Amino acid sequence: MSLPAKNASARAGDTAPQAKAIIGVSLKMYFGYQRSVDYCRDVATIAFAHPAVQSGDIELFVLPTLPVLPEAARILGAAGAAAGAQDIFWEDEGAFTGEVGGTTVAELGGRYAEVGHAERRRIFGEDDRVIGLKTAAAYRNGLTPILCVGELNAGSPEEAIAQCSAEIDAALNRAQSLGPAGRTIVAYEPQWAIGAPEPASPQYISAVITGLDAHLRALPGQADSRVIYGGSAGPGLITELDTAVAGLFLGRFAHDPQALKTILDETAARLAAKKVAA
């Protein structure tokens, strides 16, 4: 498929604050290079034909494995979507073997940087200090951080709000101590729901994100920031959530591009219904 290039001002990152919904996909390390490229081409075809993506009502991005990022950014950018990295280092350059800085991610066409995912906390021992430093690196390089937060064990919505608000504050306070902040997308991913057969209940998700969204957007410089849900999210979920939930951060349930299209359609229908109700 050949997609016409869009003006730089129409790219997802530039129109992000005006987006009414956010849908993101992390491919983790499931796909190899060619399969990732093919996936991005399929998503671009869907995005280019989707009115809500083209109008900017839905902000759509994919986080592929890093070697795919330049091609993914080119393919998705031409269709009104965007790409980013699943991780960045907290320094922009230096003797840090194997790491990739935010400067390089931006140079490769990335517009987002995921930080603080539960797997990186658990497997690589990343703590609030490291996550705050990486958040600062994203801001510094003009990237939108996808800041992942989430409680380890299921409990009450009030407990989840308290814990996740503390995680947000720890990351943003550290980041803001190092330089100007920017817009943030917080991905609320309860750790007990990641990889589970089913997500958390719609009532639980809506209650937690309503609290987190209010907390986040009241922080200095974060009025345009939003909270989305991740953790076994798939088709059908967005239709059951409160409108305080800005969107979804998808994993394996979006590996089929047609499932992603269904989610985009559901999100657009929800936006339309909200507009009619208003």
Question: Catalytic residue positions?
Answer: 117, 189
Residue 238: DSSP 8-state: G
Query: Tokens representing 164?
Result: 């996740």
What is the distance between the terminal CA atoms of the chain, rounded to a whole angstrom?
38
In whole angstroms, how large is the CA radius of gyration of the chain? 17
Residue recorded with tokens 């080119």 = 74
Nearest-5° angle of CA 129, CA 168, CA 233?
115
3-state secondary structure of 21: strand
- CA 220 from chain centre, in angstroms, equals 21
Contacts of 113 (CB under 8 A, 6+ apart): 84, 85, 87, 88, 102, 105, 134, 137, 138, 141, 143, 144, 145, 146
CA distance readout (Å), 43 to 4, 140, 221, 262:
15, 29, 32, 12
**What is the three-state SS of 36-97?**
HHHHHHHHHHHHHCCHHHHCCCEEEEEECCHHHHHHHHHHHHCCCCEEEECCCCCCCCCCCC
Query: Tokens representing 33?
Result: 């290079």
